[in-house]
Amino acid sequence: MSAAGAPADSAVPVGHCVTLMVEKKSAEERVVALAGNPNVGKSTVFNGLTGLNQHTGNWPGKTVANAQGGYRYKGKDYVLVDIPGTYSLMANSEEEEIARDFICFGEPDVTVVVADATCLERNLNLVLQTMEISKQVVLCVNLLDEAKKKKIRVGLDVLSERLGIPVVGTCARSGKGLKNLMEAVAESARQGAGTKPPPVVYDPSVERAVAALQPAVEAALCGKLNSRWVSLRLLDGETGILNTLENYLGFDILSRAGVAESLAAAKENLEKECDGGDSPRDRIVTGIVELCEKIAGEAVVCEGSGYSERDRKIDRILTSRATGIPIMILLLCGVFWLTVEGANYPSELIADGLFRLEDLLAALFTAAGAPLWLKGLLVDGGYRTLAWVVSVMLPPMAIFFPLFTLLEDLGYLPRVAFNMDDFFRRAHAHGKQSLTMCMGCMILQPVIFST
Amino acid sequence: MEREIPLNRLPVGKKANVSRLRLGGTERRRMLDLGIVGGTEIEPLYKSPTGNPAAYLIRGAVIALRTDTSSAILMKA
């Protein structure tokens, strides 16, 4: 608790009038949103910054997990909010909706976007979209050690210059660069909102439509949100955003003077100009994608080809009709066999030890003259059950999960999901559920939750 | 009139550029977000044992697409 007085909770509205309580220790505490594509090491960065000082839960009203944590840097407190991993903020799914809603309407002081150095171009999509909404963005280029292995060099200075935002390189697994990240966040938070040029400049037809619509939208918003971004979303035809906007603003933006008319006129002109070619929505997304390609082309140098000949050969063997499935069955059976065989000996040892202890405990209770029902409850019931569970379950899990993690670290598991996808598709499921099913052979509870 | 071929019919190892997407709504958005826009180069890398899905090299990333999606992505032949 800071000395500044009673803790103030900042209730942050997230769509549909449900609030996410971001627990701030004081009014000076900065809220930092942590966004990024899936599998870029966002959780590693989060854990690296907050340590054990975090708690998890769910986004209100959703099934998606949420984590919040805090850290202290140079005398100031920061609360970090982990946003679900998404490829874009265009709200195709629940995760993207949550991400967009928090970054846009949650008003974090700084948004950190974590990117994967080994496929920067694709990650830049989210970075640019975030820059369009959020006033302060810091780019954290993670997995630099992986990039080095693949002979990919990322020019962080070039990136920073082209994007106009601070760029920090990290290797969160080993904790490198996290101090620089905290410094960049602190600096961005200190600077606060400033006017910056729009990160993405679109097709002239789109820009004309935005210019026609923006004044009316700006007047209606009264400085609450980025009017350019709202204008683009209105033109883009995304219906979901209108509801969220209404909840946030407290009024329907289309009901404000001139907005509906400007929108209709701008849309009509835009559609006329797009006639026969790409739709307005396509043009907007294409604009971002092309800029990502351009920036990545300037900032990233691949000394080898990203996907090498050796990787190609290995993948062909792992996924071909003749060898793919046999290898998969062999490997998985191998893991199961090792687990079962390997667990027998330790299981026996542990069982022996624990039951011997149980006899001792029973003797202790009798010697102390404890009532029979107490001994029954604690020793025969509680302790014995615990001993059984530990001796039976602990050794197999202690063998299976490290082996499974080894397969994951080798990068083999996506190939399993890839091979199995067709079978799962016929059951209206997804190939990645084959992995949770494998884990289900050990323990079912997390599997059921994850499906 | 340009000749077009659906992505799933493109032979493994043959690179081609995207002509247009015959997809709508969320799926279209998803493909555009992955960088599959007009002119993007895609190379089929390998197919799964049953042929569906197949893996494609798109902007430096290996992405698996099911046939119902890849058949709607038309490439310039």
Cβ pair A292:B35 closer than 8 A: yes
Of B32, B48, B51, nearest to A418 by CB-CB distance is B48
* pTM for the whole structure: 0.80
Question: What confidence tens digit (pLDDT) does each residue in A396-430 have?
Answer: 888 888 998 888 888 888 899 999 999 888 988 88
End-to-end Cα separation, chain A, in angstroms? 39
Answer yes or no: do A421 and B64 touch at CB < 8 A.
yes
pLDDT (tens digit, 9 = 90+) per residue, A391-403? Answer: 888 888 888 889 9
Check CB contact of B9 with chain A, cutoff 8 Å: no
Query: Residue A282: which pLDDT band, with cuts at 50, 70 and 90?
Result: confident
When pLDDT is cut at 50, 70 and 90, the band that residue A192 belongs to is confident
* Dihedral of alpha carbons A419, A424, A430, A434, sign: negative
Give the chain A residue whose CA is nearest to the CA of B65.
Answer: A418
Give the distance from residue B7's alpha carbon to the nearest chain A alpha carbon, in angstroms. Answer: 18
Q: What percent of chain A lies above the pLDDT cut of 70? A: 91
pLDDT for res A182 = 93
**What pLDDT shows up at residue A180?**
93
Which pLDDT does position A261 carry in this prediction? 84
| Burial classification of residue A375, based on how many CB atoms lie within 10 Å of its CB (0-12 exposed, 13-18 middle, 19 or more buried) | middle
Q: Lowest-pLDDT range, A34-43, A96-105, A148-157, A326-335?
A: A96-105
Q: Does B23 touch chain A (CB under 8 A)?
A: no
Confidence at A237, pLDDT banded by 50, 70, 90: confident
Which of A241, A421, A434 is most worth mutating to test chain B (most B CB atoms within 10 A of its CB)? A421
Q: What is the pLDDT of residues A338-369, one digit of tens each?
A: 988 888 888 889 889 888 888 888 888 888 88
Binned at pLDDT 50, 70 and 90, residue A119 comes out as confident
* pLDDT tens string A1-36: 333 333 334 444 433 333 456 666 677 788 999 999
> Which residue carries 């690179």 as its tokens?
B15
Q: Which of A317, A418, A423 to mutate to test the interface with B (most CBs of B within 10 A)?
A: A418
C-beta atoms of B53 and A422 within 8 A: yes
A236 touches chain B (CB under 8 A): no
- Residue of A93, A286, A319 lying closest to B48 (CB–CB): A319
CB contact, 8 Å: A313 with chain B? no
- Is B63 in the A-facing interface, judged by CB distances under 8 Å? no
Q: Is the pLDDT of residue A450 over 80?
A: no
| 3 state SS of B62 | strand
pLDDT above 80: residue A60 = no
Contact A167, A123 (CB under 8 A): no
Q: Rounded to 5 degrees, what are φ and ψ at A410?
A: -75, -10
B75/chain A closest Cα distance in angstroms = 16
- Number of Cβ atoms within 10 Å of the Cβ of A170: 25
* Residue-averaged pLDDT of chain A: 83
